Amino acid sequence: MVRRKFSIGWVCALFFCSGVPALIYQIVWQRALFTIFGTNVQAMTAVVAAFMLGLGLGSLSGGLLSQRPGAAPVRMFAAVELAIGTFGIFSLWIFRSVAAFTAGVPAGEAGVIAFALLLIPTFLMGSTLPILVSHLVRISESVGRAVGLLYFANTLGSAAACLVAAAFAMRTLGESGSVAVAAAMNFAIGFVVLFLTPRAGSVNDAEGPAAGPAPALGLANERLAMPVAGAVAALAGFIALGYEVVWYRVYSFLSESWPVVLTAFLGVYLAGIALGSFGAVRFLRGRAGETPWRKLRTIANLLVLASLAGYMVAPSIAFAAGSGRGHHRLLFALCIFPPGGLGAVLLGAIFPLVADVSVAPDTRAGGRLSYIYLSNIAGSTLGTLLIGYAAMDRWPLQQVSTLIACGGLIGGMGLMAFSRMSLPRLGATILAVFVAGAAAVLVSLPVYSRFYERLWEKGNITAGHRFKYVVENKSGVIAVTADDRVLGGGHYEGAYSTGLIHDRNGIFRAFSLSLWHAAPREVLQIGLSSGSWAQVIASHPQLHKLTIIEINPGYLELIPRYPEVASLLRNPKVEVDIDDGRRWLTRNRDARFDIIVMNTPANWRAQATNMLSVEFLQLAKKHLKPAGVLFYNTTDSGEVQVSGLRAFRYGFMLQRFLVVSDSPVTPDPDRWRRVLTSYRIDGRPVLRLDQEPDRQRLEELMSLHDVRGRPLITESAQLQRRVGRKRPVTDDNMGTEWNLPRRR
């Protein structure tokens, strides 16, 4: 008996639902692995590459499975969903168990381990598209429409998952809760399919696969060669992910790295890709008899237009930011800014069209599609690696955007030449593309001249205002304002100032180590920024060695330009290691310090939990000597403060900084006075006690009150009462990272 096929609508609905948990897994798993292997760019690149490699291998396996005689694709899809859900339930436990033995390994080994951890689930995820395409081709008799519908449904599901994660899941459920919801969805999809299959049927094993190519096309011998199709798919993937890296950097600087905003941006970007895929389906409807060469010209036009639209996104965002009013409204409005949406839509239409002109709708459609899908994934991976890891480390954003645009324009023109276009028409088209590209560059030049200034000021930009310095590299963007404030990724991170008298950056806290510890001889500082704190600590009269861990080497380029801190990097007591702080502590298990100082990022920024969670604090505690002290910034977060009190027995607050230890800590102003009066930086005394302002400043500090008479120190008991009911920050709940953005 031959059963009815699972309808197109049902399959698309199921694949939409499948896209939701897939994206939740991606967000959570990558975040969990970054916690294990570090958030420096090498470790992050290794994790992302491992994720993409698993998807690519999975696509090949799915294509091969779909070609087996008697294959029932929808049943296979159900089995894959159940397998993904099973892995999802245990995934975080598996990751954390492996982390106990492998965390802190070099980036190359981290990539291998990440690939091993992600191989099973990503392999399964990558297999689903070729499997379901083989089913829909038997119904629609069109590869392009089958791919477009499935790509639309799945990507739209992923876009919805981004919005759900940003608005609800990550903040309220945390990592484990989000994964549990995703796994439940996988199981629901799998069981629904298995329940409905005996009634509505997938394709009965007895029915066998559909025979031969669809007669409506009649173009089996005129299809685009697979190597060419793969190259086009790879180029489209390269451009899509290359631009995503560029736009992500822009939004990171604009939003000061709020995870909610960045995830919402990703969701809108994926929604644009989905709409483009659906547009391709509409385009292909009624064009079954059209020659592949005409469709190839359409693909070439899409590549050209997508490259130009993508290039204009960054300057358009900067122009809007520099002209806008209202910080929060602006951030979310920019997520759907026309050039970005247009670029995503155009890029999303390319993959289904490439599949349509290269893959015949026969029994081998799923297998052939898997090679194109693999090429697309390979191009996407290459775009992430070459743009995010290599190009960003060598050129500024404008040049990187120009490089991606040129790649798309050249690829588009090459396809036009390949599409049997007449020579006069080809010449006119190439000239038009060249003129359009040159016009885009010329139009964007005025905006790029003060690009990051516009993003930072958000509508308050003044004529002639420029940053003193801008350092762009693969680790991020560092800017220095005209008044010597340091911005890391769009967020204030300090100022170039080491003076106690005119203390503009709270530098007295760096001078306060002797208030808490009798002999801070060996100090670890996580985070370098301007180098002002490091210069003060390196000049401490009792110091023997200062170890500094900094994730972005760009700060080292700026320090020699400022006399206040220029000698820091020449100081024999100072050692600087470019690494992730958590990763460094894990790798250097035997290192012990009298004090660990962390001028930690704001608690709401992306990846802040890596240095604020109870788990991290317990790791840091292992690196303290007896009577050792951990001294770090809480940015007024009660959750961060209660986390410190959970991890350590004793705690004080010095303004926004928490001082915690497992040994009793008693502030000693007399000891601090003796140290301050002998303090010298570059041979010059910090306090000249023969001058009245300096004597007044010393007495003010010794009173442990600020200029308004407010106490600088919050005692442990008072602190416990104030924050005792707050939720501690953990690696799983991620603290306040996923809260809605606050006003600057």
The string of pLDDT tens digits covering residues 557-590 is 999 999 999 999 999 999 999 999 998 999 899 9
Sequence ranges of the domains in the chain: 1-207, 223-465, 510-723
Q: Which residues pair with 658 in a beta bridge?
A: 632, 653
Question: What residues contact 347, with CB distance under 8 A and at least 6 apart?
Answer: 236, 239, 240, 243, 272, 273, 276, 302, 306, 310
- Span 117-134, pLDDT tens digits: 888 999 999 988 888 888
On the question of pLDDT at 224 being above 50, the answer is: yes
CA 415 – CA 333 distance, rounded (Å): 35
Amino acid at 21: P
- Record the pTM: 0.89
DSSP state letters, 511-529: GGHHHH-S---EEEEE--T
Kindly report, residue by residue over 663-722, the tens digit of the pLDDT: 998 899 999 999 999 999 999 999 998 899 999 999 999 998 877 778 888 888 888 888
Q: Which fold has domain 223-465?
A: Growth Hormone; Chain: A; (1.20.1250)
For residue 330, the model assigns a pLDDT of 47
**Confidence class for position 468, pLDDT limits 50, 70, 90:** very high
Token pair 């070729």 in the structure block, residue: 130
Share of the chain above pLDDT 70, in %: 90
The structural architecture, per CATH, of the domain 510-723 is 3-Layer(aba) Sandwich (3.40)
pLDDT of residue 208: 39
* pLDDT tens digits, 425-451: 888 888 888 888 888 888 888 878 889
Which region among 205-219, 390-404, 531-545 has the lowest average model confidence (pLDDT)?
205-219
CA gap 533, 599 in Å, rounded: 9
Per-residue DSSP letters for 337-405?
-HHHHHHHHHHHHHHHHHHHHH--SSTTHHHHHHHHHHHHHHHHHHHIIIIIIIGGGTS-HHHHHHHHH
Task: Tokens for 98, please give them.
Answer: 């492996």
At 362 the pLDDT is 77
- Candidates 533, 529, 725; CA nearest to 641 is 725
Q: How far apart are CA 20 and CA 156, in angstroms?
A: 8
Q: What Cα–Cα distance (Å) separates residue 616 from each residue in 600, 602, 644?
A: 12, 16, 10
List for the chain the helix, strand, coil content (%; round to 5): 65, 10, 30
Token pair listed for 257 = 């790295």
The predicted model gives 70-99 an average pLDDT of 88
How far does Cα 678 stand from its chain's mean position? 46
Tell me the two tokens of residue 667.
């502030």
Domains 1-207 and 223-465 share a fold: yes
* Length, in residues, of the chain: 744
Closest to 88 in 3D by CA, of 205, 182, 18, 171: 182
Q: Domain 1-207 sits in which CATH superfamily?
A: MFS general substrate transporter like domains (1.20.1250.20)
Q: How confident is the prediction for the chain on average, in pLDDT?
A: 85
In the chain, the amino acid numbered 541 is: P
Decide: residue 464, CB within 10 A, 0-12 exposed, 13-18 middle, 19+ buried. exposed
DSSP category for residue 705: B
